[in-house]
Structure formats: structure tokens, C-alpha cells
Amino acid sequence: MDDFLELTVSAMASGCIYGLMALAYLIVLRPTSIINFAIGEWSATGAFVGVGMLSTLAWPRFEGPYILAIVAVVVVLGLLGWAVERLTVRPLIRRGAAVTSPILALLGVLVIFRESLTLIYGADPLPSPPPFGFKRIEIGAFAGASQQFFIIAVTLSLFALVWLFFERTVWGRAFEAVALNRRAAALMGINLGRVTALAFAGGAAVAGLAGLLMSPMTSAHYMMGLPLAIQGFTALVIGGVGRVEGALLGGLILAFVEQLGARYLPIPSGLTLAFPFALLILFLLLRPTGLIAPREAR
Amino acid sequence: MLEAERISGGYGGGDVLHGVSIRVGNGEAVALLGPNGAGKSTLMAALTATLPRRSGVLRLAGHDVSAAPSHALVASGLALVPEGRQIFAPFSVRDNLRLGAMALAGRSSLAERFEHVYALFPRLAQRADQRAGAMSGGEQQMLAIGRALMSRPTILLLDEPFLGLAPKIIDEILTALALLRRDGLTLLLVEQKLPIALSATTRAYVMLKGEIVLEAGCEALARRSDIHDLYFSLAAQPAQK
Ligand SMILES: Nc1ncnc2c1ncn2[C@@H]1O[C@H](COP(=O)(O)OP(=O)(O)OP(=O)(O)O)[C@@H](O)[C@H]1O
Ligand SMILES: [Mg+2]
């Protein structure tokens, strides 16, 4: 039983990371219909930017507040997302390209980011200091690493903020309006180009944050983006591509299935990505709208 | 107020509009008539910069806005009530109206806009918190018009706003349009039925196959026997040449 409670905390933490990745997909996908697989690389970039803030720049060890690293990741990744939209997506849309063109262009962006990371930071993993050290924390029957609790707290706060943005602010409504009916949204005076750019900036910032939060467990590594991109996409498909809360739900379901499976099923550890793929195929076949369906346009 | 010169364009392959020129003067109410598939809605898309492909010159209040994107046109006072209403069905009535004011600057004018629209269509005030998609067709049309008015337009384009509505609702909306005209709003009304167009406008263009084939005062049009015969004879003319 203790065993299971410990697993609960670590599955919650992983689920939160997957949920953040799903959210990063969702923020871009809803108003633009573009599936941006580059967010995996953007989370790796976020990890490196954060670790850079925390150690490399102020060697031997930057002892400033962790919040500075978080702010740096959000700002730098937001700007990168914005720039990528300007340089790759917008010119294609302006020329009337089909929606598949930006998706392919973003696969190119993915490669550029991955190669740039190895050029700048090298191929070796960089250790990432967790903000609360390597303490173990016990809350009632639940126990886990301090970083796991930190991930859960940050993710839940961020989801609450994003939910408030979409449900309670005019700009959130405008994003959703673009998702429902692009032309009608344009006729409202909503600047579609600005919504697209903001969606990329927001998606990149969320992905970067997920990378930073994840990095103390795996180290910042140029290959860390690929599994995150796959797990996040699976979480998105499970939860449904319509709603913010679906992204979190999908992430948590995926993480629990993964961890329970790894513990109780005889599956070699090298095959852990088999879980997201199996779930992905299952959901695409049986429930392509995900668990929480998007709002109907009519 | 609004001048379109030699507008051509379409959706992908061939042109739907072939060098269409129309002008609507300040405070005027003009009808655009034409049968199904004439290109009326396509022209509305061209005038609001939501048509994929377009050439020609567009002027709004004397300024050349040929290159302006839709959101800039809305901000400069041009609003369209699109064909089929296109309201945001999952949102509340209030949220739909609020989105109509996206191009409006200033909080104080926002409250004034809500008041204006609620005064024009009191049903919308009663239904403010209701899901827009759950309303009747007539109420949805009122919402579509109210939403367009939220941006404080100087010229309002309406694309077949009366389609499928009960006579009582049509009268209600016609009354609202008359009030708006009295306050100086310029109107361009797309319509298929001559009697409705006559009651709301003073001048009309007739469009066929992507071209303007006739421009006339509404009174002169009313004296012609039957608008359907008119469409038919106009449609037949080019074939005779
Ligand atoms: N989205 C679209 N993509 C491609 N072709 C279109 C599209 N919308 C309209 N068309 C074509 O353009 C032509 C003109 O259509 P349009 O909708 O402008 O006519 P209309 O005068 O508004 O007719 P109605 O009175 O039925 O609304 C038609 O031949 C139609 O098939
Ligand atoms: Mg039409």
C-alpha cells in the first residue's frame, strides 16, 4: 500500500508534465489547427535556458531565487515561439498554404532547435538543481521527492491561470472564437495574425516550463524533447483536443497507466514508450474526440 | 462612404466576381439584389477582406483600404452581419456581444454599446446569460445584428438577414433597421425579395453571375412587374447577344 501511495505522487508529477505538454499543443492547436511537434524541442530548450540561469551563467552556482529561472524560461521561450511563428508559419499562411505546410515546416524547426542545443550546450546532460534540494517530503500518507510536489503545485496553479484566461477574459474568449469560426472571429475585429502569434508564444512558454520542471529528474539533455512530445500528444488525444481541463486529465491518466504498468506488468524498461503509443492507438480507434469533447460550433 | 471599384476575385479556381463596382453614400440605404449563386455573399466577403483572392480598389470614407485586413476594416467602421448569422453558439449572448466590441477602444463606450444594443433588441437583454445557440432563429439574427453594432460601425452590411424568419420577426428587425438609419447609420442590405428590400432601402443594385447588371432607385424597381421575371430577363440577355 505504501508502495502504491508513493507511486501516486510520482505518477501525479509525471502526469502534470504530460498535461503541460498537452496544454502546449492545445494552446497552438485550438485557434490555428496546427499540430506543433516542435514543442518537444521547446521544452528541452526551456530546460537548458533554466539550467543556464541557475548554474552556467553565474558559475559555480547561482543562488538567486528560482522564480528568476522560471521567468527567464517563460520570457525567452515566449519570444522564440513568437519568432518561429513570424518566420515560418505566417509566410506560409499568407501565401494561402494548406494547414499541413506549417506542420511540416515546424518539423524542420524541431531539427534546427535540437541541433542548436547540441551546438550550444554539447551532447552531455547538464544536471539541473531542484529548487528545494533533494529532500523527501511526506504529506499524510503521500510521500515523494520535493521536486515532485513542486511540479504538481506549479502545474495546478498554471492550469488554473490558463483556465481563467480562456473562460473569464475577453482575449480568452477571442481565442476560442477563432477556434470555433475563423471568419466570424475576423469579422468581430479580432486580429487573426496576433492570435496565432500569441498562441505560439504561449504554447512555447508552457512547453519550456514543462522542460524546466522535468529537468531535475532527467537532467537537461538535447534528446529529452522527443519522449515529452509523444507523451504530451498522447495525453492530448486521451483528454480531447477541445478543453484545457482535458489536457490535464489526459496527462494524469497516461502517467498512472504507465507507472502501474511498469510496476505490475512484466515489461522491459526500454519499452516504456510503448504505453503512450498503445494508449494513443487505442484512443484514436475508439474515441477520437478524447474524454472531454470540444465545444460544438453549432 | 463605401466605394468598391472593379472588384474581381473568388475562392480558389475561377473568379466569382467579375469587375464589380458599387458605391454607397453617407447615410444611404442600398439593396443588393440577385438570385441564388449570383455572388452577393462573395461580394460581402470581398468588401470585408475575408475572401481568399481579390483585386480592385476599396475605399472607406475616402481612404483607400484595398490592402487593409478585416480587423482593421472593422476598426474603421465597417461591420458585416454575415449570411447564416455565424454566431458563436456555445457562448452566452453577452459574450457574443462582447466579442463584437473587440475592435472598440475604451471601457466607457463598451457599456454604452451594450445599452444601445439592448435598447434596440430588448429580448437580447432578457437572454443575456443564455447559450446563444439555444435561442430561436429570430433571436439569433437579432444577436448577429447586435454583435455587429457593438463595434460602433458607420456602415453596416447585412447578408440576407431575413432568410427563414417569421413575418413578425422580420417586421421587428425592419423597425430596428429604420431606427438605425434615422441615427445616421449607412446600410447595404443583401436581399432576394424585392418587397423587403423596398421597405428598407432607397436604391438597389442587381447582381447576376458575378456582375452588376442593373442599378435603379427602389421606386422605379417597384414599378416593374415582377422581380423574378426581371432576374430571368436579365439573365437571358447576355445569351441573346
Ligand atoms: N466558400 C466557397 N468556396 C468556393 N466557392 C464558393 C464558396 N462560396 C460560394 N462559392 C461559389 O461562388 C458563387 C457565388 O456564391 P455566393 O454565395 O456569393 O452567392 P449568393 O449570391 O450569395 O447566393 P445566395 O443568395 O444563395 O446566398 C457560387 O457559384 C458558389 O458556388
Ligand atoms: Mg449569399
In the CATH scheme, what is the homologous superfamily, with its name and number, of domain B1-77+154-241?
Answer: P-loop containing nucleotide triphosphate hydrolases (3.40.50.300)
- Does residue B240 or residue B106 have the better pLDDT? B106
Residue A66's domain comprises: 2-297
Q: What residue owns the CA closest to ligand 1's atom 24?
A: B36
Mean pLDDT computed over A124-147: 83
For B77-118, give the secondary structure using H, E and C: CEEEECCCCCCCCCCEHHHHHHHHCCCCCCHHHHHHHHHHHH
Environment of ion ligand 2 (residues, CB < 5 A): B 40-41, 83
Query: What pLDDT is recorded for position A62?
Result: 54
Q: Which residues line ligand 1 at a C-beta cut-off of 6 Å? A: B 11, 16, 34, 36-42, 83, 192
- Residue B30: HSE in the Cβ half-sphere, 13 Å Cα cutoff: 22
The secondary structure of residue A169, as a DSSP letter, is S
Query: What pLDDT is recorded for position B156?
Result: 97
Mean pLDDT is lowest, of A46-60, A255-269, B50-64, B151-165, for A46-60
pLDDT band at A169 (very low <50, low <70, confident <90, very high): very high
Mean pLDDT is lowest, of A36-45, A56-65, A134-143, B201-210, for A56-65
Number of other residues whose CB lies within 10 A of the CB of residue A222: 25
- Does residue A270 or residue A165 have the better pLDDT? A165
Mean pLDDT computed over A159-165: 96
Residue B42 CA: which ligand 1 atom is closest? 18
CB contact under 8 A, A188 and B87: no
pLDDT above 70 coverage of chain A, percent: 94
For B208, the grid coordinates are 447576376
ipTM entry = 0.91
Find the CB nearest B82 among A170, A187, A298: A187
- Does residue A206 or residue A128 have the better pLDDT? A206
Residue B44 CA: which ligand 1 atom is closest? 18
pLDDT band at B233 (very low <50, low <70, confident <90, very high): low
CATH number at residue A123: 1.10.3470
Q: Sign of the C-alpha dihedral, residues B221, B226, B232, B233?
A: negative
For A198-238, give the secondary structure using H, E and C: HHHHHHHHHHHHHHHHHHHHHCECCCCHHHHHHHHHHHHHH
Which tens digits make up the pLDDT trace of B118-139? 999 999 999 999 999 999 999 9
Find the CB nearest A188 among B69, B90, B99: B99
Q: Does A185 touch chain B (CB under 8 A)?
A: yes
Domain boundaries, chain B: 1-77+154-241, 86-152
Which tens digits make up the pLDDT trace of A272-296? 777 778 888 888 888 877 777 766 6
Helix (H) / strand (E) containing A21: helix A2-32
Looking at the DSSP assignment, which residues form a beta bridge with residue B2? B24, B60
Quick one: B237 exposed, middle or buried, by C-beta within 10 A (0-12, 13-18, 19+)? exposed
Residue B40 CA: which ligand 1 atom is closest? 21
**Spatial CA neighbour of B185 closest among B172, B169, B203, B201:** B201
CB contact under 8 A, A181 and B86: yes
**Distance from C-alpha of B65 to C-alpha of B59, rounded to nearest angstrom:** 5
Helix (H) / strand (E) containing B188: strand B186-191
CB contact under 8 A, A187 and B80: yes
pLDDT above 90 coverage of chain A, percent: 51
Residue showing cell 534540494? A133
Whether pLDDT at B159 is above 60: yes
Mean pLDDT computed over A103-109: 90
CB contacts, 8 Å: B86 with chain A = 181, 183-184, 187
Closest-approach residue (CA) in chain A for B80: A187
**Spatial CA neighbour of A86 closest among A200, A182, A166:** A200
Give the minimum alpha-carbon distance from B101 to chain A in angstroms, rounded to a whole number.
7
For A93, the grid coordinates are 499562411
Dihedrals φ, ψ of B203, to 5°? -145, 155
pLDDT band at B237 (very low <50, low <70, confident <90, very high): low
Q: A191 near B49, Cβ under 8 Å?
A: no
Q: Does A293 touch chain B (CB under 8 A)?
A: no
Taking the model in full, what pTM does it have? 0.89
CB contacts, 8 Å: A185 with chain B = 99
CB contact under 8 A, A188 and B100: yes
CB contact under 8 A, A297 and B89: yes
**Distance from C-alpha of A287 to C-alpha of A41, rounded to nearest angstrom:** 28
Omega prior to A60 cis, within 30 of 0? yes
pLDDT band at A98 (very low <50, low <70, confident <90, very high): confident
Say which ligand is closest to the CA of B33: 1
Which tens digits make up the pLDDT trace of B1-15? 899 999 999 988 889
CB contact under 8 A, B103 and A193: no
Mean pLDDT is lowest, of A98-102, A215-219, B168-172, for A98-102
Q: A36 near A232, Cβ under 8 Å?
A: no
Q: A43 near A210, Cβ under 8 Å?
A: yes
Closest-approach residue (CA) in chain A for B101: A188
Mean pLDDT computed over B83-87: 95
Which residue type is seen at B52?
A: P
CB contact under 8 A, B82 and A184: yes
For chain B, positions 156-215, list CB contacts with chain A under 8 A: none
Residue showing cell 512558454? A205
**Distance from C-alpha of A221 to C-alpha of A213, rounded to nearest angstrom:** 13
CB pairs under 8 A between A and B: 74
**Distance from C-alpha of B241 to C-alpha of B232, rounded to nearest angstrom:** 15
Query: What pLDDT is recorded for position A145?
Result: 86
Mean pLDDT computed over B220-241: 60
Domain count for chain A: 1
Q: Mean pLDDT, chain A, as a whole number? A: 87
Which residue type is seen at B17?
A: L
Mean pLDDT computed over A207-220: 93
